[in-house]
Amino acid sequence: MSLHDRPLPVNTIGNGRELEFLTKGIAAAISRSRLTTNSLEAIAAALRHKEATVSEVIDWLKDEGLFELVSRHMRGVK
């Protein structure tokens, strides 16, 4: 490569449409992760403050689709 060659483009992600879809997809994933975090924090607070029993919390987690996310960190729970 010499000084007279054209520089290579830095951002070769594709067309502007792909960039827009990727950006919106990432934003949607971030929003979903925040909703998940808020749900888990609300459930944990209810359990910590004894506003819900263990069985109620497990049902709540299942209703929210979060039980598998939590149970993988608990010994003996499948």
pLDDT at 1 over 70: no
- pLDDT per position as a tens digit, 17-73: 888 999 999 999 999 999 999 999 999 999 999 999 999 999 999 999 999 999 998
Answer yes or no: are the C-beta atoms of 43 and 60 closer than 8 Å. yes
pTM above 0.75, yes or no: no
d(CA 6, CA 70): 53
Sketch the domain layout of the chain as residue ranges.
Answer: 16-71
